[in-house]
A and B are shown apart, each in its own frame.
Chain A
Amino acid sequence: MTQPYIFYLLITIFLELGVYFFLLKRPILYILFYAILINCVTHPLATIFYYQFDNLILVEFGVFIIEVFLIKSLFEVNYKKAIIISLIANIFTTIIGLIVFII
């Protein structure tokens, strides 16, 4: 079960990296480093809560809130930008995640 979990974590990091890069226009390695950190905080917690409570919307909302703070702190952007980035990144990864799950 651990191996598929890492696979999903890596996919999420890769997808969010694309969103961060597109919206922040900063060096890719800088964004990659923080994308890994942010997702290593939120993805495992989201997985735990999804297994416990089986409520994707609630879990994704929690991830969105935590990522707003992490994006704001780590990328040193204002709250408005952090909210937009977190919202787009999480909608994007959720949709891709659902498509991968369905396939």
Chain B
Amino acid sequence: MNKNIYFLAAVFVFLGLLIPIVFSDSLSPGYKSVSYCIKFNNLNEYSEYSLFAVCDTTMPETYVLNDIDGCYGMYKFCNFKVCAIEKTKVPTTLNLNRNAEITGSDLNWVHSNISNNNIICKDLNYRPMTQVKAENPITKVVDVMMLPNFTNSDSNFTKVKIIYTYTGGVSEEIPYTTESRPVSKYASTEEIKNIIISPKITSNEIGKNIYFGVIISLIAIIIISTILIIRKNKKKDI
């Protein structure tokens, strides 16, 4: 019976090893992953504000946005929003000037002030691009955006340009002329243009399903372990 318990322990370890797979890119066959992030070209105009990138879905994260040259991205399933508050309204006890994830009591302060509308948030409404067809030369995608006026409710982010970086380090900048993401000129054929897919549609659905599957497995393993342990104890008693 001990062997069975060791076996179940091994299955638990095995499930633990699955966690990185669960939270990794679920690449569709024939596709490769590309790095994706967003730059804000007018971040220097907001020196009187504390700005945060806030993801409150999937993998919640809150980061300070204070690096003018920083390129920001969140967990791939998260379409983050940008939140702002005047620096004069931030208590001096808070440490919000570092370029790092906000945690603990600082995070509680940020979220309670978002709930109370003291911190104004604006949705980016972007679709990250993290997968392209394997033969596509794109290796990195940077969306350049302009931060909105946080005091004006009608003001929204402006998409400025996209920077594609290709194999070999060559870059191509294309300005946005519509809301749609400009297509790389290197993706010259219609076939390549059309297969640039949104990870929001593909990975998220598979990811959710995988997460659901691991939970079912874990529950079943816990029940089986309990049954085997009860049986073992009963046999000992006899």
Contact = CB atoms under 8 A, between A and B. Distances in A.
Interface residues of A, number: 22
Nearest to B219: A40
B209 interface: yes
B169 interface: no
Interface residues of B, number: 26
A37 B220 contact: yes
A56 interface: no
Contacts of B208: 1-2
B192 interface: no
Contact of B214 (A9, A44, A69): A44
Interface stretch (B45-53, B182-190, B222-230): B222-230
B7 A69 contact: yes
Contacts of A1: 205-206, 208-209
B9 interface: no
Contact of B220 (A40, A51, A54, A73): A40
Interface in B207-238: 208-210, 212-214, 216-217, 219-221, 223-224, 227-228
Contacts of A38: 220
B226 to A, nearest CB: 11
Interface of A: 1-2, 5, 9, 36-38, 40-41, 43-45, 47-48, 51-52, 54, 66, 69-70, 73-74
20 contacts: A2-B209, A2-B212, A5-B209, A9-B216, A37-B220, A38-B220, A40-B216, A41-B221, A44-B213, A44-B214, A45-B18, A47-B209, A48-B18, A48-B21, A48-B213, A51-B206, A52-B26, A73-B4, A73-B228, A74-B224
